[in-house]
Copies of this chain bind each other. A is one copy, B any other.
Amino acid sequence: MKRTRLNRLPCPIARSMDIIGEWWSLLILRECFSGTTRFDDFQKNLGVSKNTLTARLAKLVKRGVLKRVPVEPGAKRRHYKLTEMGKELYVVFVALRQWGDKWTFDGKMPPHAVVERSNGRAVAPVEVRSTDGRVLKPRDTWLVAL
């Protein structure tokens, strides 16, 4: 395929895609946020082949999004957990999920909602804001190199 290498481009979008943009990577991470940690559970829940799962998990570990940790301190068995880097993808997930819920369902599929555990209320739509809290639209912002 000689796919253009994205991870050396000076663009964070490209570099992020290189880490989490493959077909199964984001679904694996979705499972992680749902509490899945074991190889077999990933495989059963996602229906992905073992081959692919092995490769994706390895890459996510290599890039620092997941880590393999002993199931119990000192135990030999290990499972997969989100690193801090991985946990910080949370907002990306929620934003993507909200977008997908709004735009990719045709009424035949059940929509979902991200709700607070403590009170069951749906979270607010994720938005871009200024530091003093104003909601910003695409035209209100632009990009600068530091």
A: residues with CB less than 8 A from B are 3-4, 6-7, 10-17, 19, 21, 23, 26-27, 30, 33-34, 47-48, 64, 85, 87-105, 109-118, 120-124, 126-131, 133, 136-146
Q: How far does the Cβ of A59 sit from chain B's closest Cβ, in whole Å?
A: 14
Given contacts A92-B95, A131-B123, is CB(A101)–CB(B12) below 8 Å? yes
How far is the CB of A96 from the nearest CB of chain B, in Å? 5
When the two chains form the complex, which single residue of B19, B48, B112 contacts A12, counting CB atoms closer than 8 Å?
B112
A-B contact pairs, 27 of them (CB 8 A): A10-B109, A12-B97, A12-B100, A12-B105, A12-B111, A13-B96, A13-B100, A15-B104, A16-B96, A16-B97, A17-B27, A91-B127, A92-B92, A92-B95, A110-B145, A111-B146, A112-B144, A114-B142, A115-B141, A116-B141, A117-B139, A117-B140, A122-B131, A123-B129, A123-B141, A124-B129, A126-B126
Residues of chain B with a CB closer than 8 A to A89's CB: 99
Instruction: Please pick, from B47, B112, B141, the residue contacting A145 in the complex, using a CB distance under 8 A.
Output: B112
Q: How many identical subunits does the complex contain?
A: 2
B116 touches A123 (CB 8 A): no
